[in-house]
Amino acid sequence: MPLRTRTAYFFLTPFIGIFVVFWIWPIGYSAYLSFMNTRGPVYSFNPNMNWGRLLVDPAFANALKNTLILMAIQVPVMIALATLLAVALNSPLLKARGLVRFAFFAPVVVSEVAYAAVFRLIFNADLGVVNKTLASVGLPEVAWFSHPNTAMAVIIIAVTWRWVGYNTIIILSGLQSIPKDVYEAAILDRVSRRQQFLYITVPLLKPVLIFASVLSIIGSLQLFTEPFLITDRGGPGGGTETLGLFIYRQGFNQFNFGYASAAAYTLAALAVAFSVINLRLGRDRP
């Protein structure tokens, strides 16, 4: 091996060591645990105890259902809002664009604990500003955290508020890469703004929209902080428990690491499957 190559590998050794210890080994070990009975003092090989249980466990089915509902509602709504915001922020008529863009991106840098506490206060049944506003216009107040559907709505609103600005910036970068002469030609052909958006902007933004959708889908499948903090560990009655929260509960509350590992690999498989489907649907066909 040439000296330059050996030198390069020498300098890469610390990173490779850290990568193996903190990334490759945990992934491999969790795969090993998923086939083991980890409930006793001595682990024993019993794949059906974990993988078979996933098929019949109502708690896992409930967490999977909640996760898919959140993903199916929140991701399309957020991507649609982010696209509209990106178009608005790209307008040459907008003043102080840098400040406005930062204002939409700012929720991403807010502490998760802080913003979860704020949302709990906003949707508080007795003192929350949302119920006070509803009462002021003659509408009935809502016990947001007492019913699974309303609690799920709070989670969707919170996640959308936090991440819509992040996706807006991604889509805005795609908008700014579209050649201006395409729109100039459309204006000369008297194409309306609506038709420009539908037949020029959206098709040319498709790769960026797919990228943002894949990131959002993976994030929705991994959702943990919001149901843990806002709805008090997936309440009421498990109505907002997600797969991320289910894995945490199995691993760190019940210390059933084998079952938690099996659920985690199921979650990873779902993320890969949805990402592949998204990429295939967005592929240009001849």
Predicted confidence (pLDDT) per residue in 23-62, tens digit: 999 999 999 999 999 988 889 999 999 999 999 999 999 9
* pLDDT at residue 286 greater than cutoff 70: no
* pLDDT at residue 103 greater than cutoff 60: yes
- Contacts of 262 by beta carbon, 8 Å cutoff, 6+ apart: 34, 50, 51, 53, 54
pLDDT, residue 284, reads 63
* pLDDT at residue 96 greater than cutoff 70: yes
Task: Quote the tokens at residue 148.
Answer: 């699974």
Give the residue-averaged pLDDT of 102-117: 89
Classify 59-281 by CATH class. Answer: mainly alpha
- Contacts of 34 by beta carbon, 8 Å cutoff, 6+ apart: 47, 50, 51, 258, 261, 262, 264, 265
What percentage of the chain exceeds 70 in pLDDT?
99
* pLDDT at residue 91 greater than cutoff 90: no
pLDDT, residue 4, reads 83
Instruction: Evaluate whether 103 touches 96 at the Cβ level (below 8 Å).
Output: no
Helix axis angle for 148-176 and 202-221, nearest 10°, is 140
**97-101, 103-107, 151-155, 230-234: the lowest-pLDDT one:** 97-101
- Contacts of 242 by beta carbon, 8 Å cutoff, 6+ apart: 63, 66, 67, 70, 223, 224, 227, 234
* pLDDT at residue 1 greater than cutoff 90: no
* pLDDT at residue 251 greater than cutoff 80: yes
> pTM of the entire structure?
0.90
Task: Quote the tokens at residue 256.
Answer: 């059933």
For residue 236, cis peptide bond before it (omega within 30 degrees of 0)? yes
Give the residue-averaged pLDDT of 1-17: 87
Residues 18, 20: Cα–Cα separation, whole Å = 5
Q: How confident is the model at residue 285 (pLDDT cuts 50, 70, 90)?
A: low
Q: What is the mean pLDDT of the chain?
A: 91
Phi-psi region of 8 (alpha: psi -120 to 50; beta: other; left: phi over 0): alpha
What's the pLDDT tens digit per position in 132-185? Answer: 999 999 999 999 999 999 999 999 999 999 999 999 999 999 998 998 889 889
Instruction: Evaluate whether 108 touches 162 at the Cβ level (below 8 Å).
Output: yes
